[in-house]
Structure 1
Amino acid sequence: MDYQFTIIVPIYNEEDNMERLESELTKYLSIASKKTKVLLVNDGSKDKSQTFIETICERNTHFHYIQFEKNCGLSAAIKAGFDHADTPLVGYIDSDLQTAPEDFNLLLEQIEHYDLVTGVRSNRKDSFVKNMSSLIANGIRRAFTNDGMDDTGCPLKVIKTAYAKRIPMFKGLHRFLPAMILLQNGKIIQIPVQHFPRIAGQAKFGLWNRLLGPLADCFAYLWMKKKYINYTVAKKS
C-alpha cells in the first residue's frame, strides 16, 4: 500500500489510554488527507500496554509497533520512529491524546511549503504550574535557539522524513525539533491546534522535566549547533 504519512505514537505505561487511542486514530485514518499508517513505539512500558499494542496491530492493518527492551525516554521513542519510517512524511502525537489526531490535517495542509509544521496549543487545558513552567521554558529555549516557536513541547508535528532522519537526536532534544530543522536550512511554521485535559493515565513530566531539564538541554543545543555538519551535494556521478 502506497502510504505517504507515518504517525509515531510514543507509549510508556498508558494501558488506560490504549482503547481510546485505537478508536481515535482509526477514526482519523478514515478522514486523513494523505494515506496514513501508525507506528506505536513502546518505550519499555511496565504495565499491560504491550498486550494492548499487539492486539491493536493484529486487528488493524494500518497499525505497526516497535517495543524497546527497556525505558529509554521520549526522545529515543521519537528517534526510533524516525529511523523506521519509510514514508515521505512523518509526524507524532502523544498517546494521552491531549491533542486531536484530526488536527494533523491542518498541519498537512502546510507541509508542501515547509519542512516542519508544528502545532501550538491554544487555550491549554493544563494546570497553572504546568502552563507557567512550559511558558518559562519555551521563553528560555527561544532565547537560545531563535527559532520563533511558542510551543515546541506541543505533541503534534509533521516533518518531511528526509529532514527528520538527519536530526542527531539526544535525550531532551525532542523539544528542539524546529531548531534542528533550521540547522538544516529548512523552513518551519506553527499552526494553532486544539488541546484537551488528560483524562486517563499519569503525566510523565514534572517541574524538572519541563523547566530545569530544558535549560540544561539549551547548552547541549548550543554545543551541537557549533559542531553541526551541514552540506549540499552540487553534483555526483
Structure 2
Amino acid sequence: MDYQFTIIVPLYNEEANLLRVEKELGKYLHEASLKTCVLFVNDGSTDNSLELVEEICSRHSEFKFISFEQNRGLSAAIKAGFDHTLTPLVGYIDSDLQTDPEDFELLLKEIGDYDLVTGVRTNRKDSFVKNISSLIANGIRRSFTQDGMDDTGCPLKVIKTDYAQNIPMFKGLHRFLPAMILLQKGKIKQVPVRHYPRIAGKAKFHVMNRLVGPFIDCFAYLWMKRNYIEYKIARKNE
C-alpha cells in the first residue's frame, strides 16, 4: 500500500497499555486524512510488551514493529523509527497515550507549510512536581536553543521525513528535534493538543533525568550547532 504517514510508537515495558494503543490507533487509522501506518519500536522491553506487539501486528496489516536486542533509550528508539520510515511524513506518539492520536490531524493541517509541527500540551494532567520540572527544563532548553518552543517534551509530533532522517541523533537529542530542524533551515510550529493522565504502566522519567540530563544535553546541542554541516547543491551533472 502507498502509505503517506508513519506513526512511530516507542515503547519500553508498556504491556499494560498496548491493547489500548491498538484500539485507539486502530480507530484513528480508519479516520485519518492520510493513508497511515504504525511502527512500534520496542526498546528492549523485559516484560511481555514484545509478545503483545507481535500479536497486534499479526491482527493488522497497517501495524509493523522493530525490536532492539537491549534497552537503548528513547532517542535511539525514535532514530530507529526515522531510519525505517518509508513515507513522506513521520510522526510519533508515546505508548502511554497521554496524548490523543486524533490530534495528529491538527498537526497534519499545518505540516504543508512547515517541516516540523509539534504539539503543546494544554491543561496538563501530570503531577505538580512533574509539571514544574518540565517547565524548568523547557525554559533552560529554550534559552540555549532559541527555538521558541514551549513544550518540546510533548510526545506528539509530525515531521517531513527527509528532515527527520537528516537529524544526527544522539542520546537525549529527542528533546531538541525542533532546534535540529532549524539547523537545517527548516520551519517549525507548535499547536495546542489535548493531554490526559497516565492510567497504566509506569513513567520512565523522574525529576533528576528530567532536569539534569536536559541541562547537560544543552551543551551537547551547542557543540553540535557550532559544528553542524549544512549545504545545498547548486549544480551537478547527470
Please report the TM-score for the alignment, with normalisation by the length of structure 1.
1.00
Shift, 1:195, TM fit: 0.1
1:33 Cα deviation from its structure 2 partner: 1.1
Distance 1:147 1:33 in 2: 29
The percentage of counterpart residues that share the same residue type is 74
SS at match of 1:159: strand
Deviation at 1:197, TM superposition (A): 0.1
Match of residue 98 from structure 2: 98
Query: For structure 1, which runs of at least 5 residues remain unmatched after alignment?
Result: none
CA deviation profile, 1:174-209 (whole Å, cap 9, x unmatched)? 000000000000000000000000000000001112
* Deviations 1:48-97 (CA, angstroms, capped at 9, x unpaired): 00010000000100000000000000000000000000000000000000
Give the 5 Å matches for 1:72-87: 72-87=72-87
Q: Any gaps of 5 or more consecutive residues in structure 2?
A: none
Which whole-Å CA distance do the structure 1 matches of 2:30 and 2:143 have between them? 40
Match of 1:17 in 2: 17
Q: Return the letter of the residue paired with 2:36.
A: T
Question: Is 18-27 or 206-215 further displaced after alignment?
Answer: 206-215
> Residue type matched to 1:60 in 2?
H
Distance apart, 1:133 and its partner CA:
0.3
Which residue is equivalent to 1:219? 219
Corresponding residue number in structure 2 for 1:142: 142
Residue 65 of structure 2 corresponds to 65
CA distance in 2, matches of 1:56, 1:45: 16
Question: 2:179 matched to which residue of 1?
Answer: 179
Segments ≥4 residues shifted beyond 3 Å: none
Question: 2:20 is matched by which residue type in structure 1?
Answer: R
The alignment status of 1:132 with 2:142, answered yes or no, reads: no
Q: What amino acid is aligned across from residue 183 of structure 1 in structure 2?
A: L
Amino acid aligned to 1:118: T
The aligned counterpart of 2:191 is: 191
One-letter identity of the residue aligned with 2:22: E
After TM superposition, give the deviation of residue 100 of structure 1 in Å.
Answer: 0.2
Matched letter for residue 210 of structure 1 = R
Cα distance in 1 between the residues matched to 2:207 and 2:46 = 23
1:148 and 1:215 map into 2 onto residues whose CA distance is 17
> Which residue of structure 2 lines up, in the alignment, with residue 109 of structure 1?
109
Supply the AA of the counterpart residue of 1:8.
I
Give the secondary-structure state (helix, strand or coil) at the position aligned to 1:9: strand
* 2: CA distance, partners of 1:94 / 1:167: 20
Please report how far the alpha carbon of residue 113 of structure 1 lies from its aligned counterpart in structure 2 after TM superposition: 0.2
Q: Partner residue of 1:34? A: 34
Aligned partner of residue 112 in structure 1, secondary structure: helix
Partner in structure 1 of residue 231 of structure 2: 231
CA offsets 1:105-127 (integer angstroms, 9 cap, x no match): 00000000000000000000000
Structure 2 counterpart of 1:125, one-letter code? K
RMSD between aligned alpha carbons?
0.4
Query: What is the distance in 2 between the residues matched to 1:7 and 1:202?
Result: 22
Q: Which amino acid aligns with 1:135?
A: L
> Structure 1 residues 182-191 or 227-236, which shifts more?
227-236
Instruction: Measure the CA separation in 2 of the matches of 1:152 and 1:214.
Output: 11
